[in-house]
Amino acid sequence: MLRSLKPLALTTLLLAALAGCKYLPAKTIEKPDAGTPEFLVMKMLEAASNKEIEVGWEIVHPFLHSYITDLSTSENNFLNLNFKALSRKVQFFTKDEKGNEYCKGGFCYKLDYIKDTTPDKEIEVFVKNAKSDMPSPFRIARDPKANNEWRIKNIP
């Protein structure tokens, strides 16, 4: 009896852990609809790929969550730590392991899966990363200070 409960308990724990995930076959995101979480990830990657950090920052700033922009220290930390780090490794999100771009003549990335951390309030969009076996999470959340629109809350 006890021996048969172990696999059942393990299976139950595994299913519970995966309950909030929307697993998809990895798909290429090229032209996402404006305002969607996929669009925000695209904007972040496009901005981070800009050679001029300040220009990229101006592109992405309107899409940042008020959690980041309300305090100047939070905003400065995000710019100087998170955004600059992403700009150094952005090519790993837009190219495969061999260095080939996912899209020729355009800008795109590979979406691995989406995890609802808090349904319809906060999600994590996991993007393929050529330098890692694991996809990288972009945290996107509804922002009450921006008409409850999706906004970028954290990046890998």
pLDDT, tens digit (0-9, with 9 covering 90-100), for 111-135: 999 999 898 999 999 999 999 999 9
Q: Give the residue from 63, 35, 75, 31 showing the smallest Cα distance to 152.
A: 63
Residue 36's Cβ-count burial label (10 Å; 0-12, 13-18, 19+) is middle
Q: What is the mean pLDDT of the chain?
A: 87
Note the pLDDT tens digit of each residue in 41-60: 999 999 999 999 999 999 99
59-64: average pLDDT: 97
- Which token pair is 6? 């172990």
Please compute, for residue 69, the number of CA atoms within 13 A of its CA located in the half-sphere on the CB side.
14
Q: What's this model's pTM, rounded to 2 decimal places?
A: 0.82
Count of Cβ atoms closer than 10 Å to residue 76 Cβ: 10
Q: What is the pLDDT of residue 27?
A: 87
**CA 152 to CA 40: how far, in whole Å?**
7
Tell me the mean pLDDT in the region 72-96: 95
